[in-house]
Copies of this chain bind each other. A is one copy, B any other.
Amino acid sequence: MNIEHPTMIIDEQICKRNLHNMVEKAIRNSLVLRPHFKTHQSAEIGDWFRAAGIKKITVSSVRMAEYFAAAGWQDITIAFPVNLLEWHRIHKLAEQIDLQIIIASEGVLENLPDGAGSVGAFIKVDVGTHRTGIDPTNHRVMDELVAALMKRSDLQFKGFLAHAGHSYACRDKGCVQLVHDESRKLMIALRNRYSSQVPGMTISLGDTPTCSICEGWEGVDEIRPGNFIFYDLTQWLIGSCDLSDIAVALACPVVAKHRERKTIIVYGGGVHLSKDRMEWQDKVIYGLPVLLSEDGWSLPDEESCVVSLSQEHGVIQASSDLFDRVGIGDILGILPVHSCMACDLMKKYQVIGGKEIQMMTT
């Protein structure tokens, strides 16, 4: 590998396997797979999805919607509370493609300018994460919002959308299944309450943990996982994937070694991996080191981990074996805690074999 500074390596084969598995699961459960593209943010990786039969996608910003629309995507949901200040861009984009926005709280719809044309709108439902969205058990608010949406001739009310983000607090599959069952129950209740009023509505649900792990999707029309294309250590901890399913690793030059502490210092810090962290073996860690080879990387050992990050430095607490095997000037891989955040920082990928893949720029 021709690497001299921190570089995000991507294993195309693992990505395509992860994609294939999710496509198969969607087909088995009669679900529309509308993958979230905020994870990879790349038109070229988007083409892998297109080749797998995907036609509809999810993004997290208006700019990301514009980028993927320019790359030929014709049906995009911006799964982030609609930003009134970007209304002119949303309006313009909706003239070109099928675009859906989400309404996540009271006080939005009445401030949305008239004349949106053909913008689709989902009500964002808070199924338990309590970040944003409407409480599905608050019938007064929900009834009013549905009625107000139905009255707008410039918006097409599409249905209900939720993100069970609290599944990320789970550390086993049983917990994720429980989150899913509860979320689905809440969404089905909404469908039942409003189905006569809103025929053909869409129920959109499903993040990477629930879509990777859970069974039982009756009543759900569409899923929107994103992270599964790469997975990461957080998903592994939750139970969404095996370590061998993680498809990205940050390649980091080794710049110092300290035998007295068994630490390896790499060029690869918070500006490359992000400061996202997780607890593992009673430690807070920022990644797990792996040995790179021409065709990929090893699995991490049971002991070595990234124990701290500053702006450009990563500090690896190494096993004796890793410490002795790695020399200054070598390149070490790091499996990220959160691949979405790390890839957003790196802005491009190097496929195993050497080819570069670009991401959107802002």
- Residues of chain A touching chain B, judged by Cβ–Cβ distance below 8 Å, are 3-5, 38, 60-63, 80-86, 89, 104-108, 111, 130-132, 135, 165, 253, 255-261, 263, 265, 267, 270-271, 274-277, 308, 310-313, 315, 327-329, 331, 340-341, 344-345, 347, 362
Closest 9 CB pairs of A and B: A105-B256, A81-B255, A84-B329, A4-B85, A275-B275, A104-B256, A81-B256, A132-B265, A132-B256
Partner of A313, one of B130, B131, B329: B131
Is there an interface contact between B107 and A328, defined as CB atoms closer than 8 Å?
Answer: yes
A38 to B315: give the CA distance in the assembly, Å: 19
Is there an interface contact between B271 and A85, defined as CB atoms closer than 8 Å?
Answer: no
Given that A86-B5, A107-B328, A276-B275 are known contacts, is A311 also in contact with B38, CB under 8 Å in the complex? Answer: yes
Q: What are 13 pairs between A and B in contact, CB < 8 Å?
A: A5-B86, A80-B312, A85-B253, A105-B258, A105-B265, A105-B328, A106-B259, A107-B256, A131-B265, A132-B265, A132-B313, A271-B344, A275-B341
A270 to B277: give the CA distance in the assembly, Å: 12
- Copies held by the complex: 2
- Specify which chain B residues have a CB less than 8 angstroms from the CB of A105 in the assembled complex: 256-258, 265, 328
A67 to B130: give the CA distance in the assembly, Å: 44
- Specify which chain B residues have a CB less than 8 angstroms from the CB of A62 in the assembled complex: 5
Closest Cβ of chain B to A272, distance in Å, is 10
Given pairs A131-B265, A271-B341, 20 additional interface contacts (CB within 8 A): A4-B83, A4-B85, A5-B85, A80-B267, A80-B312, A84-B328, A85-B331, A104-B265, A106-B257, A106-B259, A108-B255, A131-B308, A132-B258, A132-B263, A132-B313, A165-B310, A270-B276, A270-B341, A274-B275, A275-B276
- Specify which chain B residues have a CB less than 8 angstroms from the CB of A341 in the assembled complex: 270-271, 275, 311
Closest Cβ of chain B to A100, distance in Å, is 16
- Specify which chain B residues have a CB less than 8 angstroms from the CB of A107 in the assembled complex: 256-257, 327-328
A104 to B258: give the CA distance in the assembly, Å: 9
Closest Cβ of chain B to A234, distance in Å, is 12
Is there an interface contact between B308 and A3, defined as CB atoms closer than 8 Å?
Answer: no
A267 to B80: give the CA distance in the assembly, Å: 9
- Specify which chain B residues have a CB less than 8 angstroms from the CB of A313 in the assembled complex: 80-81, 131-132
Closest Cβ of chain B to A93, distance in Å, is 14
Given that A130-B261, A313-B80 are known contacts, is A347 also in contact with B327, CB under 8 Å in the complex? Answer: no
